[in-house]
Amino acid sequence: MAKNRSIGSGRTAVSSLLFDEKNRGLLLDIVVFLANLFVMRMLLGVFLDLIRAASEGDPLAQFVLFGMCVAMFTLPPAGAVLKRWHFHQRREASGKEFMGGCLFNPIMYFCLMALVFSTINAFLMQFFFGNRDPGGGVFVSSILIGLVLMIAHTWLVYRYFSPLRSPPSSAFLLDRRSEVLGDVCIFVNMILFQLVWNLVTLFPPGPHPGFGEAIFRLFFLVFAALLVYFPPRIFYLAEDIGKRKTWLTILLANSPVIIRVVAGGFYPAPQ
């Protein structure tokens, strides 16, 4: 009985630690790792079917893909707004100042959003104009609107790292439920990014790499994986960047994709 109670209390402690607000980055890494191991191939099959249907002119598939791009563009600012107050309350309670360094430079983040917007804009042009020329005025206007949206997006995300001068006027933003909703936005955004990143595993398998080529693949893929993984995880990295285990769990989350590509064991493309 005592042993069972000890095991039960140990599980409760682990669960409590894992789901604690300041450990959401660890939880995200574990969720991504499990998704990459068990469900990403199925999701890739669905994703490829959507791409094929959209390329054949299916309006529903085009709308779904467009919605995914819009979600990748809007979920991070939503998460930033919903979590900002709670993040700085924890920082203040811990007595630690936020020290982001060069990793939190907004230029890299802005460049990534430029890629996301380019995809959204391409879907819009295809959806409304098809193969017809939209005209220079429409194209230039879309670029200018996109530039404004990208600046606003980056500003909202990076405002997250600046303490609020006063509590939010919204009662919901003061409630812990707002942070939970913000976490949901961040988790969904990460899965969307991972879905796109996992497309690299669909490349045709090449010859088994030698030692030198394997090292080169490993270096390149680790760098690329971190580049893709960093922006969606930036909110949690602000809290756990000083923990050694953070980089290990980030590497763990990306390891299924990295191992498949480095070893030359690519997924066959889902039919």
Query: pLDDT for 76-115, tens place per residue?
Result: 999 999 999 999 999 888 777 666 666 688 888 898 888 8
For residue 31, is pLDDT > 80?
yes
**What length is written for the chain?**
271
CA atoms of 3 and 18, how far apart (whole Å): 23
pLDDT above 90: percentage of residues in the chain:
41
Give the pLDDT of residue 39.
94
First to last CA, the chain: 52
Average predicted confidence (pLDDT) for the chain: 83
Please choose, from the candidates 88, 87, 230, 106, the residue with its C-alpha nearest in 3D space to the C-alpha of residue 158.
Answer: 106
pLDDT category at 148 given cuts 50, 70, 90 is: very high
Say which residues have a Cβ less than 8 Å from residue 259's Cβ, sequence separation at least 6: 265
Average pLDDT over residues 8-18: 56
Q: Where do the structural domains in the chain lie, given as residue ranges?
A: 24-262
CA distances from 25 to 19, 72, 97, 126, 182 (A): 10, 18, 18, 37, 13
Please choose, from the candidates 247, 137, 263, 267, the residue with its C-alpha nearest in 3D space to the C-alpha of residue 200.
Answer: 267
Q: What is the token pair recorded at 141?
A: 């206007």
For residue 270, is pLDDT > 50?
no
For residue 192, is pLDDT > 90?
yes
Average pLDDT over residues 197-202: 80
Q: Are 257 and 36 in contact (CB under 8 A)?
A: yes
CA atoms of 76 and 36, how far apart (whole Å): 21
For residue 265, is pLDDT > 50?
no
Q: What is the token pair recorded at 70?
A: 């819009």
